């Protein structure tokens, strides 16, 4: 017995070390996916050329020009958006104590889309940079509405109530959005690619506008992981441990809206990344958010860029928008979660 | 309406038993009265709706034309243009409301309707595919029906885990809904803008430009499915008590549920294939019917059909005439239905 | 365990002054003044909805009182910082579901939150506290196991360990023993007493079971309808007059001569002897019956003969297969081996409807759909006799009227089921089963979630039906005391097998209780009815 007690710390240490090593591997994996994203497309480029386009640009090379002007922005946006959506999803799941929470389920994406389409229709908005502010406003209002309705009543928040509220608000906003689009063909044409969710053809300017928000949101969420751990024990337990649950939730909500609003503005509504990534990560590293969130950063990048690359390959030479690919991959994932016993019972 | 909501007050029902040899039916006189009132209301609304438009016609002339004794100038407008539209709104509304009643009872959850659990999205996906690839409306109902049934089967199979739990069905349904929606978006992005705007119009739902053929299809669907559903309500009353209780009362639960699901799919697919996925009618009207007439039964089922018809007709009138631009009716129904749904969800306490 | 060893309480670090509590507009409790004696175990008891959990929430500042003040160490508690309070008070609330795969050690570490600050790594101090808490609660060996894989008692101990890691002098536990069976309850109470006796911690428990409170606590606070109706040492509170005020049920109190522990025995109407002979039919027996869920076999090789026209109670610890056996008899689960015979025919023979005319079953936790009235629900019991084209016959009418009368629901027949109290609601479900008009009735835990008064109400009704109509009744009960009081025959199960069956006086023995429930106890006859009374031994 005493020998066992002495040996106790070892497995813990090894676990911590192996989690650290895993994180490093994930970072390497994300980097590799970035390189692939520079290489693959309707025109395949060699690794040497794609790296040269960044570090040693030769304006004469057609390949390098393609990489520099099209794929570098696309990859950068993919990295920023993938990381932010995944961390936002993890934060939401912890703060709402709801395995189904995610930017698309809570209607943030639909709210942001609606705000942007409205702005384009009424305000003759042409600069994608201005999208950001409308995306924030729409996302914030919608998520507040959905969360308010989903948690009202004596039962508190249940996964099903929250998901239903999100779906209905999304349906309502989508129906208004499509009414606006029917009234005005130009808006439809301007928006239909954006509203499918895509990394392609985006202006780097948009990324620069959104980037500060993405960074602030993601860093803030990573710093909050200890609080999120305690919050996941339940409201009463967390408050009995001396936590201001309302304050922590409020901060988490603001961070989530920063991340998703900026992500939607930069890449359009991309569903299910935020829902799926934290679940995948939890299977590997367990429920500790101090590990879940950092892992989510890299796995989010891998998943989103991976989906984007898949969309480029599947129907060559044309492309499938990444939002469609993630939804097609992510919706079965939602069904899988729903089939886990605990969720439906809650 | 408000008088009957008083929850705690004892309200002796006016039940009469109708006996004919071996047949005995239980009939609630109040519900019978409500059905009559709703039918009269729908008729009046329909007549008024046909007077409206760029070519106003007096009510008397409308009624005369409908009865086949009008003048030729009115006959064309009323019988060829307005009557089919009004009739398809009424019939489609009835079908949609009934499908909602069936699904809500089936899942024992008042917050479910075919538009949430992916049935409508499945139908839309197939219909959009049909419109975009074949560019013809022929056989569109069949495509939509196939889509609806496939989606329903998919939801049911994926929910199955030694039984079907209501909450799991909702979540799986949301997932199937998302998949179908993603595929529909894919189609919309892939095809040229000319075809796309037609498809987008269809997916919002509209009774615009209905023909007598549409009315015949809707009417045939309702004629078959309404009696079937009304009969099934007798078994559903017991299914509502929960699987275990229903089974110990001697009900073959899975068989009942499968039959109900087929009828529900049929109701929703027939309506969707003609008028497109008009949202929230299926969700909202069964609630209103139950609020006015009490728990679902064969009689209340018929009443729900009446209300559904009247509601969709009213929504179409609003969509067509209330605003300077005429909107598809689906926009109006979701603008009214979604807030009501959210209100209900907000009021629902620990039940979910 | 006598309380005389301890000096009378002089100090109280935690107390409430004239506290009024409300959720929204609904006032739950008014003008409560409680002093929690230091270094003692205090229990707060009372019927469902009396405000006992609400009071506890106010004491730990989870709920801010509408009026009055809660004082901790002489200071108003809501003026103290949240972490400051959390370093002095540890609360175990009624559990909420945990994220999957969280291990016991993860859980316990999170109890250190009030001692940590933003971005500060865990110190050696934290590590020691976690180790100590794990050791104290006896969950060291479970540290790497996910909490959701543990048994009920182990899980409860893991949560208590988390509260212990907070290192607070005062512990408050909200219903720590609900959903546990007797052995696990014992486990938790032993831990509570150890913490109090060896560590000198002040413990406050909210309990719904009087007998537990009488056994473990030094001080009892009894509440009813949001007010304190009795307070003092167990001897003062657990006596017939006080119990009548608290729960509204006449009770006798038995005192265990060896330990001085008090046990309350609620008195319903006295059981009449059987006059009517059993109805024709209703002979239920099984031979070598096995069944289960999917591949998992829960009931194994059961042979029982149910006495016709009598009340049989099936007892056993949680998950011993008692409800499964009942469901198998009612054909709700497939039989994997052996057979179950009703009047000589297998229950699997024929259509479901036919069986439903001969055997009725009331499951657990049935919920009536919204808006359904009492009469409509009871009428649903006639379903097996009806078709959609034959919806209502004179026999249906007669059966519904009869069962409404028998259950005393005549006056409530047009009320909606949701507006009734828990006891009334359970009566409606029994009336529905009664309207099925079958010689055999199976009832699965008809008294769970009801407080004492309603339990007595429901069991009296069942006994009365049995006596007057001669129906064979088989019920699953988790409370051995109720089974002993009401059943003519007892079937004791363990691990899916029947261990003993026969009349209560023969079956309920010290050895049997130890085998079936895993606790030590004494068994003495009730002076009034001569039925056995089980007095659990402590420590």
Q: Where are the alpha helices (DSSP H) in C208-312?
A: 210-216, 234-237, 240-247
Q: What are phi and psi of A190, to 5 degrees?
A: -70, -30
Residue pair A218/A141 in contact by the 8 Å Cβ criterion: no
Residues paired with A117 in a beta bridge: none
Distance from CA of C100 to the nearest CA of A (A): 7
Q: Which residue among C327, C380, C415 sits closest to B237, beta carbon to beta carbon?
A: C380
Q: Which residue among C84, C94, C166 sits closest to A241, beta carbon to beta carbon?
A: C166
Q: Mind listing the pLDDT tens digit for each residue in A40-67?
A: 887 888 888 888 888 888 878 888 888 8
Query: Where does residue C122 rank: exposed (0-12), middle (13-18), buried (19+ CB within 10 A)?
Result: middle
Q: Which residue among B162, B237, B298 sits closest to C294, beta carbon to beta carbon?
A: B162
From chain C residues 332-371, the ones with a CB under 8 A of any chain A CB are: none
Structural domains in chain C, CATH included, are: 3-266 (3.40.50.300), 284-536 (3.40.50.300)
Per-residue buried b or exposed e for A184-221, using 16+ beta carbons within 10 Å of the residue's own CB: eeebbebbbebbbbbbbebeeebbebbbebbbebbebb
Residue pair A70/A199 in contact by the 8 Å Cβ criterion: no
Q: Hey, is A300 helix, strand or coil?
A: helix
Residue pair A23/A294 in contact by the 8 Å Cβ criterion: yes
Would an 8 Å CB–CB cutoff place A287 in contact with chain C?
yes
Contacts of C62 in chain A (CB under 8 A): 236, 239-240
The subunits that touch chain C, with at least 3 C-beta pairs less than 8 Å apart, are A, B
- pLDDT reported for residue A157: 58
CA distance A190 to B335: 24
Distance from CA of C93 to the nearest CA of A (A): 6
* Residue that is written with structure tokens 């009463």 in the block: A236
Residue of chain A nearest B172, judged by CA positions: A335
Would an 8 Å CB–CB cutoff place C96 in contact with chain A?
yes
- pLDDT reported for residue C184: 83
| CATH number, domain containing residue B132 | 1.10.3470.10
CA distance C114 to C120: 12
For residue B300, what are the contacts with CB-CB under 8 A and spacing of at least 6?
A: B31, B233, B289, B290, B293, B294
Cβ neighbours, 10 Å, residue C342: 24
Show pLDDT as tens, one digit a residue, over chain C (539 residues).
334 444 444 578 899 999 999 877 788 888 899 999 999 999 999 988 888 888 998 998 888 898 899 999 988 998 888 889 999 999 988 766 676 678 898 899 989 989 887 766 778 888 999 999 998 888 888 888 888 778 777 888 899 899 999 999 999 999 888 777 788 888 889 889 888 998 889 999 999 888 889 888 999 999 998 899 999 998 888 888 888 888 888 888 888 777 777 888 888 777 777 766 656 677 899 999 999 887 788 899 999 999 888 999 999 888 888 889 999 999 988 899 999 999 888 988 888 889 999 999 998 878 888 778 899 899 999 999 988 888 888 889 999 998 898 888 888 888 888 888 888 888 899 999 999 989 999 999 888 777 888 888 889 988 988 888 888 999 999 888 889 989 999 999 999 999 999 999 999 999 999 998 888 888 888 888 888 888 877 65
B6 within some domain: no
The subunits that touch chain B, with at least 3 C-beta pairs less than 8 Å apart, are A, C
Would an 8 Å CB–CB cutoff place C93 in contact with chain A?
yes
For residue C222, the surrounding DSSP H or E stretch is strand C219-224
CA distance A100 to A346: 12
For residue A87, what are the contacts with CB-CB under 8 A and spacing of at least 6?
A: A217, A218, A221, A222, A259, A293, A296, A297, A300
Residue pair C71/C25 in contact by the 8 Å Cβ criterion: no
Residues paired with C286 in a beta bridge: C304, C340
**Residue B192 in tokens:** 């040229």
Residues in chain B: 352
For residue A164, what are the contacts with CB-CB under 8 A and spacing of at least 6?
A: A150, B111, B116, B170, B174, B345, B352
B15 within some domain: no
CA distance B237 to B260: 12
Q: Write a three-state SS string for chain B.
A: CHHHHCCCCCCCCCEEEEEECCEEEEEEHHHHHHHHHHHHHHHHHHHHHHHCCCCCCCHHHHHHHHCCCCCHHHHHHHHHHHHHHHHHHHHHHHHHHHHHHHHHHHHCCCCCCCCCCCHHHHHHHHHHHHHHHHCCCCCHHHHHHHHHHHHHHHHHHHHCCCCCCHHHHHHHHHHHHHHHHHHHHHHHHHCCHHHHHHHHHHHHCCCCCCCHHHHHHHHHHHHHHHHHHHHHHHHHHHHCCCHHHHHHCCCCHHHHHHHHHHHHHHHHHHHHHHHCCCCCHHHHHHHHHHHHHCCCCHHHHHHHHHHHHHHHHHHHHHHHHHCCCCCCHHHHHHHHHHHHHHHHHHHCCCCC
B13 within some domain: no
Residue pair C443/C474 in contact by the 8 Å Cβ criterion: yes
CB contact under 8 A, C416 and B110: no
B30 within some domain: no
Q: Where are the alpha helices (DSSP H) in C69-206?
A: 82-88, 104-110, 124-136, 152-165, 182-199
What are the start-end ranges of the E strands in C274-410? 284-293, 296-306, 311-315, 335-342, 345-346, 359-362
From chain B residues 65-104, the ones with a CB under 8 A of any chain C CB are: none
CB contact under 8 A, C414 and B10: yes
Q: Mind listing the pLDDT tens digit for each residue in C333-375?
A: 889 999 999 988 898 888 888 999 999 999 887 888 877 889 9
Q: Mind listing the pLDDT tens digit for each residue in B202-254?
A: 777 778 777 888 899 899 999 999 999 999 998 888 888 888 888 889 888 88
Contacts of B240 in chain C (CB under 8 A): 369, 372
CB contact under 8 A, A242 and C95: no
Closest CA to C83 of C120, C125, C121, C113: C113
- pLDDT reported for residue B312: 94
Residue pair C339/C289 in contact by the 8 Å Cβ criterion: yes
CB contact under 8 A, C97 and A288: no
Contacts of B252 in chain C (CB under 8 A): 352
Residue A159: pLDDT band (50, 70, 90) is low
Q: What strands, in cross-sheet order, belong to the sheet with C75-76?
A: C26-36, C14-23, C67-72, C75-76
B27 within some domain: no
Residue pair C457/C428 in contact by the 8 Å Cβ criterion: no
Closest CA to C107 of A287, A100, A7: A287
From chain A residues 310-329, the ones with a CB under 8 A of any chain C CB are: none
Cβ neighbours, 10 Å, residue A71: 24
CA distance A102 to A91: 9
* Residue that is written with structure tokens 């009566």 in the block: C427
Contacts of C94 in chain A (CB under 8 A): 236
Distance from CA of A7 to the nearest CA of C (A): 13
Residue pair C439/C282 in contact by the 8 Å Cβ criterion: yes
From chain A residues 65-94, the ones with a CB under 8 A of any chain C CB are: none
Distance from CA of A241 to the nearest CA of C (A): 5
CB contact under 8 A, A236 and C84: no
CB contact under 8 A, A223 and C116: no
Q: Which residue among A149, A172, A183 sits closest to B334, beta carbon to beta carbon?
A: A172
Range of the domain at B108: 41-347
Q: Which residue among C355, C363, C419 sits closest to B244, beta carbon to beta carbon?
A: C363
CB contact under 8 A, B200 and A158: no
CB contact under 8 A, A338 and B178: no
Total domains in the fold of chain B: 1
**Residue C248 in tokens:** 């509204």
B3 within some domain: no
CB contact under 8 A, A331 and B176: yes
Strands C335-342 and C345-346: antiparallel
- pLDDT reported for residue B304: 95
ipTM summary value:
0.80
CA distance A44 to A38: 9
CA dihedral B261, B263, B268, B269 (to 10 degrees): 100
Q: Write a three-state SS string for A7-48.
A: HCHHHHHHHHHHHHHHHHHHHHHHHHHHHHHHHCCCCCCCHH
Q: Which residue among A223, A230, A234 sits closest to C96, beta carbon to beta carbon?
A: A234
Cβ neighbours, 10 Å, residue A171: 22
- pLDDT reported for residue A16: 67
CA distance C115 to C83: 8
CB contact under 8 A, A240 and C86: yes
Q: Which residue among A154, A155, A331 sits closest to B182, beta carbon to beta carbon?
A: A331
B130 within some domain: yes
Q: What are phi and psi of C409, to 5 degrees?
A: -105, 5
Q: Which residue among A165, A175, A339 sits closest to B168, beta carbon to beta carbon?
A: A339
CA distance C234 to C10: 18
Contacts of C331 in chain B (CB under 8 A): 247
Q: Hey, is C81 helix, strand or coil?
A: coil
CB contact under 8 A, C389 and B110: no
CA distance B84 to C89: 73
Residue of chain A nearest B328, judged by CA positions: A179
Residue pair C221/C34 in contact by the 8 Å Cβ criterion: yes
Q: Which residue among B108, B244, B247 sits closest to C352, beta carbon to beta carbon?
A: B247
CA dihedral B282, B287, B289, B290 (to 10 degrees): 140
CB contact under 8 A, C366 and B241: yes
CA distance C174 to C21: 17
B1 within some domain: no
Contacts of B339 in chain A (CB under 8 A): 172
Residues of chain B with pLDDT below 50 are 1-10, 350-352
Structural domains in chain A, CATH included, are: 81-345 (1.10.3470.10)
CA distance A12 to C46: 46
Contacts of B13 in chain C (CB under 8 A): 373, 414
CA distances from C286 to B326, C339, C356, C362, C434 (A): 71, 6, 18, 20, 24
């Amino acid at each position: 017995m005493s020998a066992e007690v002495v040996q106790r710390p070892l497995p813990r240490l090894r676990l911590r070390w192996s989690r650290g090593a895993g994180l490093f591997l994930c970072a390497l994996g994300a980097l590799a996916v970035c390189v692939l994203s520079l290489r693959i497309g309707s025109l395949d480029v060699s690794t040497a050329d794609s790296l040269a386009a960044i570090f040693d640009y030769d304006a004469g090379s057609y390949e390098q020009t393609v990489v520099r002007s099209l794929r570098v922005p696309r990859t950068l946006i993919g990295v920023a958006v993938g990381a932010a959506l995944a961390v936002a999803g993890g934060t939401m799941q912890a703060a709402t104590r709801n395995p189904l929470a995610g930017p698309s389920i809570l209607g943030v994406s639909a709210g942001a889309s609606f705000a942007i389409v409205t702005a384009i229709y009424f305000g003759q908005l042409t600069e994608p940079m201005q999208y950001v502010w409308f995306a924030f406003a729409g996302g914030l209002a919608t998520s507040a509405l959905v969360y308010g309705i989903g948690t009202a009543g004596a039962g508190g928040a249940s996964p099903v109530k929250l998901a239903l509220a999100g779906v209905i608000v999304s349906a309502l906003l989508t129906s208004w959005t499509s009414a606006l689009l029917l009234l005005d063909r130009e808006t439809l044409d301007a928006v239909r690619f954006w509203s499918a969710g895509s990394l392609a053809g985006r202006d780097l300017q948009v990324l620069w506008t959104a980037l500060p928000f993405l960074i602030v949101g993601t860093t803030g969420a990573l710093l909050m992981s200890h609080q999120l751990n305690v919050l996941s024990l339940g409201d009463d337990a967390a408050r009995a441990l001396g936590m201001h649950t309302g304050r922590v939730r409020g901060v988490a909500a603001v961070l989530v809206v920063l991340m998703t609003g900026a992500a939607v503005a930069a890449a359009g509504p991309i569903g299910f990344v935020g829902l799926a990534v934290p679940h995948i990560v939890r299977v590997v590293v367990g429920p500790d958010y101090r590990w879940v969130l950092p892992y989510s950063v890299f796995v989010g990048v891998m998943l989103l860029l991976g989906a984007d690359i898949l969309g480029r390959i599947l129907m060559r030479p044309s492309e499938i928008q990444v939002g469609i690919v993630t939804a097609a991959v992510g919706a079965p994932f939602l069904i899988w979660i729903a089939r886990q016993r605990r969720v439906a019972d809650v | 309406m408000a008088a009957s909501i008083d929850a705690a007050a004892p309200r002796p029902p006016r039940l009469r038993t109708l006996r004919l040899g071996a047949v005995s039916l239980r009939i609630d006189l109040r519900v019978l009265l409500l059905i009559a009132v709703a039918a009269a209301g729908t008729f009046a609304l329909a007549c008024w709706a046909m007077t409206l438009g760029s070519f106003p016609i007096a009510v008397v002339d409308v009624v005369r034309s409908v009865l086949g004794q009008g003048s030729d100038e009115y006959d064309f407008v009323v019988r060829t243009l307005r009557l089919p539209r009004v009739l398809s709104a009424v019939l489609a509304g009835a079908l949609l409301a009934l499908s909602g009643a069936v699904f809500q009872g089936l899942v024992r959850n008042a917050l479910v309707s075919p538009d949430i659990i992916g049935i409508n999205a499945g139908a839309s996906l197939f219909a959009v595919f049909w419109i975009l690839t074949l560019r013809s409306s022929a056989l569109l109902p069949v495509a939509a029906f196939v889509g609806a049934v496939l989606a329903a089967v998919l939801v049911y199979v994926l929910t199955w885990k030694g039984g079907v739990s209501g909450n799991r069905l909702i979540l799986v349904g949301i997932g199937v809904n998302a998949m179908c929606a993603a595929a529909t978006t894919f189609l919309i992005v892939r095809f040229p803008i000319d075809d796309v705007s037609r498809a987008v119009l269809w997916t919002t739902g509209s009774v615009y430009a209905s023909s007598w053929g549409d009315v015949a299809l809707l009417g045939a669907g309702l004629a078959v499915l309404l009696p079937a559903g009304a009969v099934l309500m007798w078994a559903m009353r017991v299914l509502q008590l929960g699987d275990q209780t229903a089974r110990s009362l001697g009900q073959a639960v899975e068989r009942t549920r499968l039959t109900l699901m087929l009828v529900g799919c049929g109701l929703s697919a027939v309506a969707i294939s003609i008028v497109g996925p008009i949202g929230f009618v299926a969700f909202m009207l069964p609630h209103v019917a139950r609020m006015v007439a009490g728990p679902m039964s064969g009689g209340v089922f018929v009443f729900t059909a009446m209300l559904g018809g009247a509601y969709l007709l009213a929504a179409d009138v609003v969509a067509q005439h209330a605003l300077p631009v005429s909107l598809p009716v689906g926009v109006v129904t979701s603008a009214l239905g979604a807030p009501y749904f959210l209100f209900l969800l907000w009021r629902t306490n620990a039940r979910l | 365990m006598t309380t005389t060893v301890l000096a009378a309480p002089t100090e109280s670090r935690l107390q409430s002054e004239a506290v009024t509590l409300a959720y929204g507009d609904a006032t739950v409790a008014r003008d409560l003044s409680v002093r929690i004696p230091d270094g003692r175990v205090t229990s707060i008891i009372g019927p469902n909805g009396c405000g006992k959990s609400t009071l506890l929430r106010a004491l730990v500042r989870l709920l801010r009182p509408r009026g009055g003040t809660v004082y901790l160490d002489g200071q108003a508690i809501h003026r103290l910082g949240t972490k400051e309070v959390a370093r002095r008070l540890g609360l175990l609330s009624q559990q909420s579901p945990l994220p999957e795969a969280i291990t016991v050690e993860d859980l316990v570490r999170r109890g250190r939150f009030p001692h940590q600050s933003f971005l500060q790594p865990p110190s050696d101090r934290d590590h020691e506290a976690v180790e100590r808490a794990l050791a104290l609660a006896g969950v060291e060996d479970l540290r790497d196991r996910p909490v959701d894989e543990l048994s009920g008692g182990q899980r409860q101990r893991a949560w208590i360990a988390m509260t212990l890691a907070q290192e607070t002098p005062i512990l408050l536990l909200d219903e720590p023993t609900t959903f546990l069976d007797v052995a696990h309850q014992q486990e938790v109470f032993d831990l509570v007493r150890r913490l109090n006796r060896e560590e000198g911690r002040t413990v406050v428990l909210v309990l719904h079971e009087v007998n537990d409170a009488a056994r473990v606590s030094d001080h009892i606070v009894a509440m009813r309808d949001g007010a304190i109706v009795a307070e003092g040492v167990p001897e003062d509170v657990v006596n017939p007059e006080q119990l009548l005020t608290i729960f509204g049920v006449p009770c006798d109190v038995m005192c265990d001569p060896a330990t001085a522990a008090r046990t309350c025995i609620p008195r319903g109407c006295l059981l009449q002897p059987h006059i009517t002979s059993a109805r024709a039919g209703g002979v239920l027996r099984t031979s070598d019956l096995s069944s289960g869920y999917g591949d998992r076999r829960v009931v194994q090789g059961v042979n029982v003969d149910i006495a016709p026209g009598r009340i049989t109670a099936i007892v056993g610890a949680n998950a011993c297969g008692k409800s499964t056996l009942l469901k198998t008899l009612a054909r709700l689960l497939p039989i994997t081996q052996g057979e179950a015979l009703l009047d000589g025919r297998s229950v699997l023979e024929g259509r479901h409807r036919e069986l439903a005319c001969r055997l009725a079953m009331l499951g657990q936790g049935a919920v009536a759909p919204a808006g359904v009235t009492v009469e409509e629900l009871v009428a649903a019991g006639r379903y097996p006799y009806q078709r959609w084209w034959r919806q209502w016959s004179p026999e249906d009418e007669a059966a519904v009227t009869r069962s409404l009368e028998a259950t005393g629901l005549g006056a409530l027949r047009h009320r909606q089921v949701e507006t009734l109290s828990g006891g009334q609601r359970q009566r409606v479900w029994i009336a529905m089963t009664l309207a099925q008009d079958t010689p055999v009735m199976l009832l699965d835990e008809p008294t769970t979630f009801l407080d004492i008064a309603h339990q007595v109400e429901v069991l009296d009704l069942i006994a009365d039906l049995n006596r007057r109509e001669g129906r064979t009744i088989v019920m699953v009960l988790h409370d051995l005391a109720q089974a002993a009081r009401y059943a003519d025959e007892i079937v004791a199960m363990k691990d899916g097998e029947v261990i003993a069956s026969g009349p209560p006086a023969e079956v309920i023995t010290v050895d049997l209780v130890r085998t079936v429930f895993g606790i030590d106890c004494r068994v003495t006859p009730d002076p009034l009815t001569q039925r056995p009374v089980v007095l659990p031994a402590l420590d």
